[in-house]
Amino acid sequence: MPLRLTTYYRGNEIPDLPGKNTFHSKELFLIYEATPGYSPVYIVATIDGKPVAKLLAGIRTNKSLFPPSIVRRCEIYGTGDYMDDAIDREAVFGEMLEHLTTEVLRVSFMIEFRNLDNALFGYKYFRENNYFPVNWLRVRNSLHSQKKVEERFSPSRLRQIKKGIQNGAKVEEAHSIEEIREFSRMLYKVYSSHIRKHFPNIEFFRHMEEKLIRSDQGKIFIVRYKEKIIGGSACIYSEDSAYLWFSGGMRKTYALQYPGILAVWMALKDAYERKFRHLEFMDVGLPFKKHGYRDFVLRFGGKQSSTRRWFRFRWNWLNNLLVKIYV
């Protein structure tokens, strides 16, 4: 039977679908849909009426004051979710990729595939659709050994965790909407000082609580000091891995409490206790450029490895130029 692709732009039209990959779930689509600045696209592949694969893309709007600009870019985490082991996954991905590229480039300036589990997956089809690869780095902590996560930390990191707690900081899981709102406002201020880091509208975290946290597909951890939230982290869980998506702390104002460090420590500790195989830190930067966040997380005992991201620009002249440079 031929493969059929269906594209969804509204969450109320998406049927309930099987699958284990949170980054390509209906729940994450609904979070994007409810968050200002996002426009999700969902492609579902079926054979004889049976869903065999799905691909979720989040189109977000970037606004800049200096220089004044509005740019729409599309991000995809991984290469889709596949529910039938009998299919040729790469061939199905190729069909979805061609369809996605045609649909999304009408409204988006750039498409980016990131956080790939297998850097070689789909190479042929990316190139056929005129994408170009850029070498990237990933940092993951292995959690499946008998060692506790703290045994992999640097001695200075262990001292900082101990001092932070001794100096009055408390780390716990966020349970209420009020806590999540305070956490997101705090984190927005932290991220706003890093021009290159994207931070979603705070509604993203409120809907994350409704769609993912309640179904045990995500958690938000908060660091308190004298009843004030001074740090925190947001994790998403997909299959056998945890992903630290956002984290930070008011490290300048509350230096002695080490809020950013405690937020990452709790995310690792919880993922280990829940028996995930890995925790991956999202967006640790290019391999040929010094990256402060990457240096920060490596002191928690993780390993860095090479991967790639795939890009496609709407302007053919620009895309062709970059293809010549990177391919």
pLDDT at residue number 73 = 93
pLDDT recorded at residue 287: 65
**Cβ(242)–Cβ(280) under 8 Å?**
yes
pLDDT-derived band at 288, boundaries 50, 70, 90: low
Whether residue 193 is predicted with pLDDT greater than 90 in this model: the reply is no
Taking only the tens place, the pLDDT of each residue in 98-116 is 999 999 999 999 999 999 9
Pair 42, 21: CB distance under 8 Å: no
Single out the residue of 261, 218, 255, 273 nearest to residue 25, CA to CA. Answer: 218
Which pLDDT band, with edges at 50, 70 and 90, does 6 fall under?
very high
Tell me the average pLDDT across 191-206: 76
- Segment 107-127 shows an average pLDDT of 93
Plot region of 115 (φ>0 → left; ψ -120 to 50 → alpha; else → beta): left
Q: What local confidence, expressed as pLDDT, does residue 276 receive?
A: 94
CB 108 within 8 A of CB 59: yes
User: Given a cut of 90, is residue 81 above it in pLDDT?
Assistant: yes
Q: Which CATH number fits domain 3-129: 3.40.50.280, 3.40.630.30, 3.90.480.20, 3.30.420.40?
A: 3.40.630.30
What pLDDT is recorded for position 71? 82
Confidence of residue 63 (pLDDT cuts 50, 70, 90): low
**Above 60 in pLDDT, residue 68?**
no
pLDDT tens-digit profile of 292-311? 778 888 888 888 888 899 99
297 token code pair: 């997380």
pLDDT tens digit sequence for 266-281 = 999 999 999 999 999 9
Task: Give the residue with greater pLDDT, 128 vs 287.
Answer: 128
Question: How far, in Å, CA of 54 to CA of 319, rounded?
Answer: 26
Pick from 104, 117, 95: which is nearest to 21 by CA? Answer: 117
Structure tokens, 37: 């600045």
Give me the mean pLDDT over the 174-180 stretch.
91
Residue 197 has pLDDT above 70, yes or no: no
3-129 against 139-306: fold identical: yes
Model pTM greater than 0.85?
yes
Contact present, 231 and 263 (Cβ < 8 Å): yes
Spatial CA neighbour of 157 closest among 304, 261, 266 = 261
Q: Which of 14-23, 146-155, 241-250 has the lowest mean pLDDT?
A: 146-155
Rounded to an integer, the average pLDDT of 188-211 is 80
d(CA 160, CA 155): 9
State residue 195's pLDDT score: 45
Task: Using pLDDT thresholds of 50, 70 and 90, give the confidence band for residue 175.
Answer: confident
**Domain 139-306 fold:** Aminopeptidase (3.40.630)
**Average pLDDT value for residue range 15-35:** 95
Q: Can you read off the two tokens belonging to residue 62?
A: 């970037």
CA 12 – CA 6 distance, rounded (Å):
14
Q: Which two tokens stand for residue 271?
A: 């993922």
Q: Is 122 left (phi over 0), alpha (psi -120 to 50) or beta?
A: left
Instruction: Give the pLDDT of residue 321.
Output: 96
User: Tell me, what DSSP letter sits at residue 109?
Assistant: S
**Pairwise CA distance, residues 149 & 237, whole Å:** 18
CA-based nearest residue to 17, from 36, 40, 43: 43
pLDDT at 66: 47
Element (H, E) at 161: helix 155-166
DSSP state letter for 33: H
Examine the pLDDT at 70 and tell me if it is beyond 80.
no
| Strands in 98-174 per DSSP E | 110-114, 132-142, 170-173
Pairing of strands 241-249, 278-281: parallel
Domain ranges of the chain: 3-129, 139-306
SS3 114: strand
Sign of CA dihedral 273, 236, 97, 13: positive
Contact 217, 237 (CB under 8 A): yes
Q: What pLDDT does 294 receive?
A: 81
